[in-house]
Structure 1
């Protein structure tokens, strides 16, 4: 399942609640739902599965209003965030994902890492044990695994150092070292 398939699955779930779903490319927000008018509008250019699943949870819960935009203190928002992560995690696990892949889950779905970690670790002691383990692999070994994910590496290949660091839980103060190792192993020149 790719990201677009996941978005389409969430749209299908929204439509099952008899909600009209409309894509608007220049919509100023990622997504918004009005349960009273039975409509969800989202920007296909900026939407993530997490943000759309968040709207699905508002629909499922029958939430009718927010106090203001970005109302993070509203209990409905906190509940929708939590339920969206659990909904997406369930799909991720049924597709073969595991607690070993939590950073990949977050990157794929757009879920915030620390919130996801907190919520998923509540439901799985394996996650806590795994994430608290020291990774004994060196940056070089992680770089080899990371570069193996690419089908082909050329001068036009984009290697995202931040993504690499997040994926392997490497401290960001190792950025320069990681960049040098990745570019060296990929036989690429730094720009």
Structure 2
């Protein structure tokens, strides 16, 4: 309930502040597990993906954001869950897999942190882990900005990424993440 209300509020607010253009929304399946993997240029990226996706999205968020009780409560009710950065967080991995097993959508920023330059950074193996360990459809997403008042923000969802051949070849999570990052880079190149 709070998620839907929050989505409406953020949608109205963002429409007043930015000129958001969305492309490729039709590539996101209406049902079943989905992983949306996006580049990360701003703290505003999660709500931007959240309001432009037709599906409710569960996001990983750095553990420090949950330290204040009321913010932690709000984030949990907006479908965010904590992850310890810089280490393998087994609880966050289990939570992400459970979300996908239940047929929901998991939103990931494979770079793990915002890009200071706006250029796409190296992706972490977590995205590949979720892709390999679930039956989720993987959707690449590219966000171009910058988020300036009344500025244009473009969100492009790409076609699903097939990793079946990589599964057969026993690719590592990092190799799958690298493939996802290549797809995001192609979307960024075409979005300019």
Whether these two folds match at TM > 0.5 is: no
TM-score (structure 2 length as normaliser): 0.30
TM-score (structure 1 length as normaliser): 0.30
Larger Rg: 1
Relative contact order, higher structure (CA 8 A, sep 6+): 2
Greater helix share, structure number: 1
